[in-house]
Structure 1
Amino acid sequence: MKPNQLIFCVAMVALLFYSPHKTRAEQQENESNSYKPRIINTTDLGADPDDEQSLVRQLVASNEFDIEGLIVATGCWKKTQDNTAMLDVILDAYEETYPNLSIHAAGFPTPEYLKSIAVMGQDGYGMSDVGAGKDSPGSELIIVAADKDDPRPLWLMGWGGMNTIAQAIWKVSETRSPAELKKFLSKLRLYDVLGQDDAGAWIAKNFPDVFYIRATGVYGWQPPKNGDYQRNDIQSHGPLGSVYPDTQWAMEGDTPAFMHVYPNGLNDPEQIDQGGWGGRFSFTKKAGIRSMSEVPKIQEDGETQYDPYLMYGNTDEKAEAIKKWNKGYNNDFAARMDWSISSNYADANHHPTAILNGDKSRKVLSMSASSGEKITLSAEGSRDPDGDTLSYKWSFYAEPSTYKESVEIQNSTSSKATVQIPANASGRSIHVILEVYDDGEPNLYAYRRMIIEVAGSPTTENLEPDTGSPYFPFPHTVLVTKVRHFDNMCWKIAAAGGTWYFENGETEGKTGFSSAFDQAGNDWIGNDADRGYNKSSNAGGKHEYRGWPNFGEGNFNHPQRKSNSTSWWVDESGKKIAFEDSLSGDHLIMRSSNPSYELEYHFFPSHAAIKIIRADDKYAFLFEGPVGGEQEASVEKDYYVLKDGVHREIKSGGLGYLEPEFGNKFPSPFFYLADSDSKDKQVFYAGVRDVGPITAGDEGWRQGENMVIFSFGRDEDKRAYSGTEAICVFGFTEKTEHKEISSFIESKIKSPFN
């Protein structure tokens, strides 16, 4: 296919070469909801082979979508493109399998149609290839598709860079009225995988109303790399299996884009917080969801020049929101690859149809209920086209529900189940998932979701906050509210410099800082910052929770650890303050204690200071978190800066002194962490007094890909030092000259309570 082939004339695009003959599968489809999402891919084919992998999966499921464009474009890993040859090879393989696929399900697009919408997008990188004279067949195709008289939204999926989409938006913004531009943008739904050029930030900054998801939780859901599943169930299966390459880095990193809109009954893709095969996302837009680490290497301020820009991002579960459905999507792919090599309908397995309370569609349903009521849900009438035996599973999906405690479901493996609405669920939503699966080979799943809206007004304590994001706009003073964060009750302490989440002891006595968000939305401590990167054998090698300050024995002030701690607020005389809905002021004081320790945390707009009231056992202060506050950033080197201004690399490996020449004495009253983003704030940590004797060990090390740990006095012989004015100060500071940063930090050391 020639790169300058233009396919966007209306007559050509209108041709839909679908097979006219009726199939057994078509009859099944007619019984269910035939709604198909409209999608266009832009892919940097030829960079990472995962694009080829994702395209094979998409093609064997293409009867579920209206694919309106396959656009070869660029990204940070492939900054130029000049042909569609790799795409053509995969479409040729699809052409060989098309007759077989059409036997097993209706609606597969013809090879001729797919080839007619396979075009070149931008052939240069990022925003350097957007603007006057930069139109491409791909950008024109996007405009034509969005202009169609079709009420369905158009999902534009960036498997590579976003500049072909940016060019389409740029042209419409330059050639149409504001009202026409608004109409055009209202039809678009952008799903950006990881951010692979600077065009996404440009779009989000200049067109803030556009529906824009940047998915960063796209690793960790896949089967084992180059394992039995990939070899036996995919690659060994005919023409499409032969063009499914071995995994080089990560398997199918772009697949979540179209799995998000997969019409399997599990979720409504417009409701991005519901969760499905493509992940779960927050409706609270976040500032500064950064692209892949290669983008700032190409141009340091490529994205930051557009700060602040806001996008929808993954919820805290990241890839776990995908992985929870792994048997369903893995078996779906395997079965469809079986279809591609089978010319006999009876030689392969096919999906059951799940019926929920008599509804045969794939829509998400909702119903009303009262607290304390029992609700009956029914899957009766569900059936399997192969006559296989069906099994049922009803489950409470807590993450998208606003009710967060346990929900009892009776007869959860029967076709009829009873949901006991909790007495304290007034004003909350309860998401119940139905999974219907057959006993074929491989067994296939169908899903339905019932959202139960419980009547009444909610109680304040159970409110789920907009966690995973900073307080926005930032207050000039300090604002404290009580929220649930990572399933634990916390004080949300919003200040001018950043937002802190401190577990308040109400959840199993847990106390400690579980998150510290800067103004760009980066979490500098905790937040499962080592998720997906921890190479240790702890907890099965999956991930390890980190937080701050990990203060003393018995898990006192160790986030997400059970202890016998309590927390409360006091005035400046130490008198307890009754906390109702919120507290605000320029200087707020919280106490936290157990039988061995009692601390005061003093919060100011610019920083926080910790005072030791009582300590009857040894303790140490640790800072544990990701450099730059970005848990998934790819960091080649991590640096900490002392009073002398030298940027010292944090050593990888394990426990050890910061520098051999330091011995056991930390030669600075403070350190701060530096990242590559000049516009972000950075965290600082200062010891106000000597934090230990000469024998106390002061250590720092790197763990996993992006986790750093600093310890002030970790030796076993270290005893508590009580009565000091303040043991440490921490907060955020603007990036500027080291002299100015040092002056600011030292002023807080000198006067920590001002």
Structure 2
Amino acid sequence: MKSLILSVAVALAGAASLPALAAPAPGVAADTARHRVIILTDIENEPDDSESMVRLLLYANQLDIEALIATTSVHLKTRVAPETLQAVIAAYGKVQPNLLKHETGFPDAKTLSARVTQGLPVYGMAGVGAGKDSGGSERIIALLDAPDPRPIYVSVWGGANVLAQALYKIKATRSPAETARLIAKLRVYTISDQDDTGIWMRKTFPDLFYIVSPGGYGNATWGGMMAVEPGQDNSEISNAWLAEHIQQGHGPLGAMYPDVAYGMEGDTPSFLSLIPNGLDAPEHPDWGGWGGRYTLYTPDRATTDPTGFTGGVPVEQEPRPIWTNAVDDYTPTLANPYGRTTKAAEKTATGYKITIWRWRKEFQNDFAARMDWTTKPYTEANHPPVARLGHADHLTVKSGQTFGLSAKGSSDPDGDSLSYQWFHYPEIGDWKTPIPISGADNTYAVWVTAPTVTEPKTAHFILKVTDKGTPPLTRYKRVIVTITP
């Protein structure tokens, strides 16, 4: 034990004497591999698609937005509205030069405008079949055919019939092997089933990677985007917050963000987990992140709120496993006025929506900061910290072993002071019982004692690094620990 205490003291002393890392020059973006993204949107169905579009464009330098396709849905059956996509892009074009002062890589409006196309103005399966091709479905096929090894993430905000038509044509015109190769490149996330083509695709293409909360909207994970959690602070989704931080005084793009009518940005979770924040692991929907957490199973129809609101889309029994609703238990961390700077809230939240809600203050602050970038110079805005680990992100330890976790080397480009928080995420990995942090969990270096196991088990530990800028911004690191007997 004396050697352990000495090791902690040495580590903390070393942290105090570490030289500050040089901040990147203004306008330098993080070095990340961008995900290929296709957006399908029933924009003009209600205001929330336009809201999500505003947010999406603020991350246009961190995602490869390869197509923006106006579609129908059960809520917008006979028309599509590419002109509204173009209007939001035009507003983005006015602020893109200022965004480039903060990070590189923001495409110009002309480039994004050229990627807008549309599906047929018909509902659901009426747009799928021989001779039902559209600019949107042909664009999807062309992107699949492109010699790019990266997967394509299809973010579906409305009906999915444009994607269904692309897959119908591929199946009808390509060999089974080629069809399977192209389908293997797709990662689909639909915001519920907003037409009758989703279940058709899941039946017809059993190997298609598909995230969805089937059934009634009230049962959907994406509801964590705007759900008012009883007994918790929900101020970051209030109309007053949106007016202050997004809509008013934030230039032409902020002014394009409409008032909430039915729900704030219900479509946004379909791309949140693609943003490179340190949590992003879109090939592992069960690992959790800003867009929620999902597990692979075949849900029983009775558990999907089949009589709840769907806009009229029939709810069928799922034919095979899909990535769908998972449950998190989450106790928020609150600011403590004296002593240790953080404390656990008295109430624990549980449910599907919590897998998004638990990160909501952090991604809303990120949204607000990037909206500031549209009008402010670099020196007057906040920029996210850089989270680093003082060790590998995969560790192997023995049963009962005490091991260290370190955020050594984390920094902030604006020179802001940093706060740290470590926690075990018990819903992920093989070891489901919460593993406590020894002592305070809010120091840059912490100690953990591995539980006793009789066979190898994995545990995920999450590091949050938050700056004290305005608004405070958070980045993450994930450490996967394998515990052996």
Task: Report the secondary structure of 1:89's partner residue.
Answer: helix
Task: Report the secondary structure of 1:41's partner residue.
Answer: strand
The one-letter code matched in structure 2 to 1:413 is N
Task: Name which of 422, 440, 444 aligns with 2:451.
Answer: 422
- Name the counterpart of 2:38: 40
Task: Name which of 139, 164, 168 aligns with 1:166.
Answer: 164
Matched, 1:243 2:229: no
Q: 1:291–1:241: structure 2 CA closer, same or farther, 3 Å change rule?
A: farther
The one-letter code matched in structure 1 to 2:224 is G
TM-score, normalised on structure 1?
0.54
> Structure 2: how far apart are the matches of 1:449 and 1:112?
37
Instruction: Give the C-alpha shift of residue 27 in structure 1.
Output: 3.8
Instruction: Give the C-alpha shift of residue 227 in structure 1.
Output: 2.1
Q: Deviations over 1:120-154 (max 9, x none)?
A: 12321101111111111111111111122222110
Q: Deviations over 1:563-588 (max 9, x none)?
A: xxxxxxxxxxxxxxxxxxxxxxxxxx
The one-letter code matched in structure 1 to 2:355 is A
Number of residue pairs matched by the alignment: 421
Asked if structure 2 preserves the Cα contact closer than 8 Å seen for 1:205 and 1:310, the reply is: no
> Structure 2: how far apart are the matches of 1:183 and 1:455?
37
Instruction: Give the C-alpha shift of residue 278 in structure 1.
Output: 0.4
- Name the counterpart of 1:348: 381
- Name the counterpart of 1:69: 67
> Structure 1: how far apart are the matches of 2:258 and 2:96?
20
- Name the counterpart of 2:11: none
- Name the counterpart of 1:631: none
Matched, 1:219 2:248: no
- Name the counterpart of 2:325: 314
> Structure 2: how far apart are the matches of 1:280 and 1:292?
24
Instruction: Give the C-alpha shift of residue 426 in structure 1.
Output: 4.4
Asked if structure 2 preserves the Cα contact closer than 8 Å seen for 1:366 and 1:451, the reply is: yes
Instruction: Give the C-alpha shift of residue 309 in structure 1.
Output: 4.9
Structure 2 residue runs of 5 or longer lacking an equivalent are 1-23, 214-219, 227-233, 328-350
Q: 1:25–1:64: structure 2 CA closer, same or farther, 3 Å change rule?
A: farther
Asked if structure 2 preserves the Cα contact closer than 8 Å seen for 1:56 and 1:244, the reply is: yes
Q: 1:59–1:292: structure 2 CA closer, same or farther, 3 Å change rule?
A: farther
Asked if structure 1 preserves the Cα contact closer than 8 Å seen for 2:74 and 2:311, the reply is: no
Instruction: Give the C-alpha shift of residue 267 in structure 1.
Output: 3.4
Asked if structure 2 preserves the Cα contact closer than 8 Å seen for 1:358 and 1:381, the reply is: no
Alignment of 1:460-475 (within 5 A): none
Instruction: Give the C-alpha shift of residue 82 in structure 1.
Output: 4.2
- Name the counterpart of 1:384: 412
Asked if structure 2 preserves the Cα contact closer than 8 Å seen for 1:36 and 1:65, the reply is: yes
Asked if structure 2 preserves the Cα contact closer than 8 Å seen for 1:376 and 1:418, the reply is: yes
> Structure 2: how far apart are the matches of 1:451 and 1:292?
40
Instruction: Give the C-alpha shift of residue 26 in structure 1.
Output: 4.7
> Structure 1: how far apart are the matches of 2:195 and 2:479?
39
> Structure 2: how far apart are the matches of 1:425 and 1:247?
52
Q: 1:372–1:58: structure 2 CA closer, same or farther, 3 Å change rule?
A: same
The one-letter code matched in structure 1 to 2:25 is R
Task: Name which of 433, 437, 447 aligns with 2:466.
Answer: 437
The one-letter code matched in structure 2 to 1:228 is A
Asked if structure 2 preserves the Cα contact closer than 8 Å seen for 1:409 and 1:419, the reply is: yes
- Name the counterpart of 1:375: 403
> Structure 1: how far apart are the matches of 2:389 and 2:202?
39
Matched, 1:449 2:485: no
Q: 1:290–1:159: structure 2 CA closer, same or farther, 3 Å change rule?
A: farther
Instruction: Give the C-alpha shift of residue 201 in structure 1.
Output: 0.3
> Structure 1: how far apart are the matches of 2:54 and 2:451?
45
Asked if structure 2 preserves the Cα contact closer than 8 Å seen for 1:373 and 1:421, the reply is: yes
Asked if structure 2 preserves the Cα contact closer than 8 Å seen for 1:70 and 1:119, the reply is: yes
Alignment of 1:96-135 (within 5 A): 96-135=94-133
The one-letter code matched in structure 1 to 2:169 is K
> Structure 1: how far apart are the matches of 2:382 and 2:196?
44
Q: 1:318–1:117: structure 2 CA closer, same or farther, 3 Å change rule?
A: same
- Name the counterpart of 2:340: none
Task: Report the secondary structure of 1:122's partner residue.
Answer: coil
Alignment of 1:582-601 (within 5 A): none
Asked if structure 2 preserves the Cα contact closer than 8 Å seen for 1:26 and 1:106, the reply is: yes
Q: 1:174–1:413: structure 2 CA closer, same or farther, 3 Å change rule?
A: same
Runs of 4+ in 1 over 4 A off after TM superposition: 223-226, 287-296
> Structure 1: how far apart are the matches of 2:465 and 2:311?
46
Instruction: Give the C-alpha shift of residue 194 in structure 1.
Output: 1.1
The one-letter code matched in structure 1 to 2:319 is P
> Structure 2: how far apart are the matches of 1:77 and 1:186?
30
> Structure 1: how far apart are the matches of 2:312 and 2:476?
43
Instruction: Give the C-alpha shift of residue 180 in structure 1.
Output: 0.3
Instruction: Give the C-alpha shift of residue 387 in structure 1.
Output: 0.7
Pick the structure with more strand per residue: 1
Q: 1:256–1:287: structure 2 CA closer, same or farther, 3 Å change rule?
A: same
The one-letter code matched in structure 2 to 1:60 is L
TM-score, normalised on structure 2?
0.83
Q: 1:337–1:243: structure 2 CA closer, same or farther, 3 Å change rule?
A: same
- Name the counterpart of 1:55: 53
The one-letter code matched in structure 2 to 1:354 is A
Q: Deviations over 1:380-424 (max 9, x none)?
A: 111111111111111111111321223121342122111211124
- Name the counterpart of 1:397: 425
Instruction: Give the C-alpha shift of residue 368 in structure 1.
Output: 1.4
- Name the counterpart of 2:365: 331
- Name the counterpart of 2:332: none
Q: 1:252–1:219: structure 2 CA closer, same or farther, 3 Å change rule?
A: same
Instruction: Give the C-alpha shift of residue 226 in structure 1.
Output: 4.8
Alignment of 1:248-647 (within 5 A): 248-286=261-299, 288=301, 297=312, 304=316, 308-316=319-327, 317-342=351-376, 344-357=377-390, 365-410=393-438, 411-424=440-453, 426-456=455-485
The one-letter code matched in structure 1 to 2:273 is H
RMSD: 2.0
Asked if structure 2 preserves the Cα contact closer than 8 Å seen for 1:402 and 1:428, the reply is: yes
> Structure 1: how far apart are the matches of 2:25 and 2:191?
36
Instruction: Give the C-alpha shift of residue 358 in structure 1.
Output: 5.1
- Name the counterpart of 1:750: none
Instruction: Give the C-alpha shift of residue 24 in structure 1.
Output: 2.6
Alignment of 1:70-89 (within 5 A): 70-89=68-87
> Structure 1: how far apart are the matches of 2:164 and 2:253?
32
The one-letter code matched in structure 1 to 2:190 is D
> Structure 2: how far apart are the matches of 1:116 and 1:339?
24
Asked if structure 2 preserves the Cα contact closer than 8 Å seen for 1:339 and 1:348, the reply is: yes
Pick the structure with more helix per residue: 2
> Structure 1: how far apart are the matches of 2:312 and 2:361?
38
> Structure 2: how far apart are the matches of 1:197 and 1:204?
13
Q: 1:92–1:27: structure 2 CA closer, same or farther, 3 Å change rule?
A: closer
Asked if structure 2 preserves the Cα contact closer than 8 Å seen for 1:260 and 1:269, the reply is: yes
Q: Deviations over 1:83-135 (max 9, x none)?
A: 41111111111001101111111121211111010111232110111111111
Asked if structure 2 preserves the Cα contact closer than 8 Å seen for 1:196 and 1:292, the reply is: no
> Structure 2: how far apart are the matches of 1:406 and 1:82?
48
Larger radius of gyration: 1
Task: Report the secondary structure of 2:283's partner residue.
Answer: coil
Q: Which has the higher contact order (CA 8 A, sep 6+)?
A: 2
The one-letter code matched in structure 1 to 2:325 is N
Q: 1:188–1:297: structure 2 CA closer, same or farther, 3 Å change rule?
A: same
Q: Deviations over 1:426-447 (max 9, x none)?
A: 4222110000111110011110
Asked if structure 2 preserves the Cα contact closer than 8 Å seen for 1:131 and 1:170, the reply is: yes
Structure 1 residue runs of 5 or longer lacking an equivalent are 1-22, 360-364, 457-754
> Structure 2: how far apart are the matches of 1:416 and 1:166?
49
> Structure 2: how far apart are the matches of 1:287 and 1:165?
25
